[in-house]
Chain A
């Protein structure tokens, strides 16, 4: 009985998310000519590859019951470092890319350590990390640094042809690899199970003898790495570094994760759900582009409304399952 209930409670948001995506895509297809095509669908991945990558890292953080507000700023910082090292210092991309990836990873490691060792709140630590990363990217330069380097241009413009006259970009491949790795980590490793256990109840996880501290530090390190990788993908996408890049992206990410069915209280959620969450945000934007008369601020309002719907849905599900368990 309990098993069946917990199944519902975990999967209903995900089912709702997928149905919503299908519904919105069908709506677009019926309403606009040229909407229903494989390329429009693939463009959702091409335009949101970076968002998928950060959402993957954020999913682990939120499942563990934490939050990472620094991701948007880490994207800006990574783009800034990559741009300035490539353009001003004239370094080779093979040195620049590892350094860029290290930035977010180290910041994530430091944040995770502060959260674990000094028992600080994730919210406030990553808030400081957000200030720090954005501030540092402004310290590097307040101007946009355009990147004009053959390697970056290659990464930006290469089209990988797919059957049916469609194509994807290299960034999409990177994003999908990360998703595959994360799905494997989340569902088939000890680390993944520990993340869910910490989100369910940190104290119980500790009493069970799970390596809570190590896992928590690693979760934030992984999220930082994802943010840096997303930063690189974003740099390929924009071909520039700028301190204001990805402003407010952390909220889009959290919205995608929540819409993807991950409980913000922790303990339940799916990496794959977050990918669908990102796709839903992408569909909203595509619909607004196709509509033509709607302005971009409708995106924000639509995301807000969806966020509200899903959060209320989550509450109802949790309340109902609590009530039923209480009656038993």
Chain B
């Protein structure tokens, strides 16, 4: 029992998350209290969930992309584009009923999924490296977002739009339900069907999986489309929170936070394995870290420094070379490593 807990990949992320939350308890004894106010659940924990929603969504998409040994650098720009499309398509529809919002959501998600598909086409059909293929959209996407909004911060005066990011349903923030829906969709599709296995197989060796009869090109195309879709949903939430679209700053650094969340969650950047729940915990760690930094009165500017240190620690802990040098590691692991090394030296 204890051994299986110790072996779980989720152990360390959960421990870190709990530690960060406990640190908050020292500074605010009410940190864990959750109460109902105006029919809404309020409290720091709910706040972390609510504010972390876009990051969790985007990280879920990123997890599947990274599982295929890819990476999606364009998510930050897609967030900006989603906000721009969403806001522009309903700008000036005050008091026009509910139809505009459905059109806006539909249009945004469709375009973002197609944009993800564009990345997927470059990676799977033309064979461009993922970093490079998505770099194009990362550079150009922000330009396109500014093009759509005319380079200005466009404010939306249409009430229903605020519900996406700021609304409440059954006392919980609506964004939590969106996250839950996307997460359940991803978990069911990848863990209850063979799709997850296909993704992991493409991540460990695309050629071998093609020979085994898996359409690796379409699998890749699909994960990038899903990542674009997730970034679209996240962008709608972010833009709805502030009721405006900012082509320049919306979603800035999100790709980095998302990659960080995935890596903290135990998914290796080498592809071939992925842990969706780990990613969610990783994203929550990042969000709690941000909240903690704000709440304990450390200057907000140190946020980036702390994140950098966390990335390095997590990566070093994941590195076999580091673990060997620092901890020495027992017999069992050495055997495994030796085997791995023998496999590598024979080309």
Residues on A facing B (Cβ under 8 Å): 67, 114, 117-121, 123-125, 127-132, 134-136, 138-139, 142, 203, 243, 251-252, 254-255, 258, 264-265, 295-301, 303-305, 307-308, 311-312, 315, 319
Contact = CB atoms under 8 A, between A and B. Distances in A.
A148 B319 CA distance: 47
A297 B321 contact: no
B301 A142 contact: yes
A251 B301 contact: no
Contact of A251 (B135, B263, B322): B135
Interface of B: 71, 122, 126-129, 131-133, 135-144, 146-147, 151, 247, 256, 259-260, 263, 269, 299, 301-309, 311-312, 315-316, 319-322, 347
A13 to B, nearest CB: 13
Nearest to A312: B126
Contacts of A305: 140
A117 B321 contact: yes
B299 A139 contact: yes
A121 B270 CA distance: 9
A123 B269 contact: yes
Contacts of A138: 301-302, 304
A301 B132 contact: no
- The CB with the most chain B CB atoms within 10 A, among A118, A136, A139, is that of A118
B308 A135 contact: yes
A311 B259 contact: no
A131 B311 contact: yes
Given A301-B144, A305-B140, A258 B71 contact: no
Contacts of A295: 146, 151
A135 B303 contact: yes
B129 A301 contact: no
B135 A135 contact: no
Given A303-B139, A319-B127, 19 more contacts: A114-B316, A119-B319, A120-B315, A124-B259, A125-B312, A127-B256, A128-B308, A131-B311, A132-B305, A132-B309, A138-B304, A203-B347, A243-B301, A254-B135, A264-B132, A298-B143, A300-B139, A300-B143, A308-B136
Nearest to A298: B143
A207 to B, nearest CB: 9
B126 A131 contact: no
Contact of A139 (B127, B259, B263, B305): B305
Contact of A123 (B71, B303, B306): B71
B303 A120 contact: no
Q: Which 7 A-B pairs have the closest CB atoms?
A: A304-B140, A135-B304, A300-B143, A138-B301, A135-B305, A131-B308, A132-B308
B154 to A, nearest CB: 14
Nearest to B344: A203
- The CB with the most chain B CB atoms within 10 A, among A123, A128, A258, is that of A128
Contacts of B131: 67, 123, 264
19 contacts: A114-B316, A119-B320, A123-B71, A128-B311, A134-B304, A135-B301, A135-B302, A138-B301, A138-B302, A251-B135, A252-B139, A300-B139, A304-B136, A304-B140, A305-B140, A311-B128, A312-B126, A315-B127, A315-B128
A116 to B, nearest CB: 10
B54 to A, nearest CB: 19
Contacts of B129: 264-265
B319 A307 contact: no
Given A67-B131, A124-B259, A139-B305, A300 B140 contact: yes
B88 to A, nearest CB: 15
Contact of A118 (B132, B144, B299, B321): B321
Contacts of B135: 251, 254-255, 307
A214 B322 CA distance: 18
A119 B306 CA distance: 22
A127 B299 contact: no
Contacts of B147: 297-298, 301
Given A118-B321, A255-B139, A297-B247, A129 B308 contact: yes
Contact of B305 (A114, A136, A311): A136
B308 A311 contact: no
A311 B309 contact: no
Contacts of A264: 129, 131-132
A123 B127 CA distance: 19
Contacts of B71: 123
A304 B137 contact: yes
Contacts of A130: 256, 308
B315 A304 contact: no
Contact of A311 (B132, B142, B311): B132
A92 B318 CA distance: 44
A136 B132 CA distance: 28
A308 B259 CA distance: 23
Contacts of B269: 121, 123-124
A131 B144 CA distance: 26
A124 B259 CA distance: 9
Nearest to A132: B308
A255 B137 CA distance: 12
Contacts of A114: 312, 316
- The CB with the most chain B CB atoms within 10 A, among A130, A142, A311, is that of A311
A132 to B, nearest CB: 4
Contact of A135 (B146, B151, B307): B307
A139 B315 contact: no
A301 B303 CA distance: 31
A323 B193 CA distance: 37
Contacts of A128: 308-309, 311-312, 315
Nearest to A255: B139
A32 B138 CA distance: 31
